[in-house]
């Protein structure tokens, strides 16, 4: 799915597309930081069907973590949010993901449900402005035993997903 955004602000006009990947109707305008500006909430599906390189582990799409990200209207153009820009927004998502991972870990034979929440918690930890090392500690503390040997590859994939996510393309 691709979203086309035509924006007119004062005398400036902007036309952009946002690649929504696997999303259908999951775009929301929200007020993420309490200011008057509104942000667009989209889902980052870069880790859909995730599998660490050279590993037998793989998530199905149903178990894939889709992470909330924000698209911001800034300087007359739409752009993806920056790491740490909306720290409270991502800290709240981190808390929910961490709690979900801990709940899933408490259920027998549910390792397949723990890994996506652990990945999501580490992603949100980075987005809230924490360091890669702090996000790695979060990941290691939450990953199920079968995923632990892959933790270095997983945190690198999460870091890359956070840094490289840019679904916005300016048309004019």
Residue appearing with tokens 């500690």: 137
Instruction: Give residue-wise pLDDT tens across range 131-153.
Output: 999 999 999 999 999 999 999 99
pTM value? 0.92
Q: What percent of the chain has pLDDT over 70?
A: 96
Could you tell me which residue, 12 or 77, shows the higher pLDDT? 77
Query: What range defines the domain where residue 15 resides?
Result: 2-170
pLDDT band at 159 (very low <50, low <70, confident <90, very high): very high
Q: How many domains does the chain have?
A: 1
CA count, 13 A, side-chain hemisphere, 48? 11
Q: Position of tokens 């702090």?
A: 134
What pLDDT score was predicted for residue 17?
Answer: 87
Rounded-to-integer distance, Cα 42 and Cα 121, Å: 17
Tell whether the model's pLDDT for residue 15 goes beyond 90.
no
At residue 58, the pLDDT reads: 94
Q: What is the pLDDT of residues 34-65, one digit of tens each?
A: 765 688 999 999 999 999 998 999 999 999 99
Question: CA 44, CA 116: separation in Å to the nearest integer?
Answer: 13
Q: How sure is the predictor about 23, in pLDDT bands with cuts at 50, 70 and 90?
A: confident
Three-state secondary structure call for residue 159: helix
So what's the pLDDT on residue 26? 66
Of the candidates 55, 65, 83, 68, the residue with the CA atom closest to the CA atom of residue 26: 68
Give first-to-last CA distance, the chain, whole Å. Answer: 20
Other CB atoms within 10 A of residue 6 CB: 10
**Which residues does residue 169 pair with via DSSP β-bridges, in sequence order?**
17
Residue 135 phi, psi (nearest 5): -65, -40
pLDDT 10s digits, 82-138: 999 999 999 999 999 999 999 999 887 677 789 999 999 999 999 999 999 999 999
């Amino acid at each position: 799915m691709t979203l086309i955004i035509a924006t007119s602000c004062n005398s400036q006009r902007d036309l952009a597309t946002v690649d929504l990947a696997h999303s259908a109707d999951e775009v929301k305008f929200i007020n993420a930081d309490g200011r008057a500006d509104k942000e667009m909430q989209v889902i980052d599906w870069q880790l859909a069907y995730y599998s660490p390189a050279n590993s037998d582990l793989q998530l199905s799409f149903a178990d894939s973590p889709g992470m909330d990200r924000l698209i911001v209207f800034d300087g007359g153009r739409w752009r993806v949010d920056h790491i740490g820009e909306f720290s409270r927004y991502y800290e709240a998502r981190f808390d929910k993901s961490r709690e979900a991972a801990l709940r899933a870990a408490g259920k027998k034979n549910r390792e397949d449900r723990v890994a996506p929440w652990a990945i999501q918690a580490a992603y949100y930890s980075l987005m809230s402005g924490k360091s890669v090392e702090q996000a790695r500690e979060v990941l290691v503390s939450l990953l199920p035993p079968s995923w632990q040997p892959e933790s270095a590859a997983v945190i690198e994939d999460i870091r890359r997903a956070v840094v490289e996510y840019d679904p916005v393309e300016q048309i004019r």
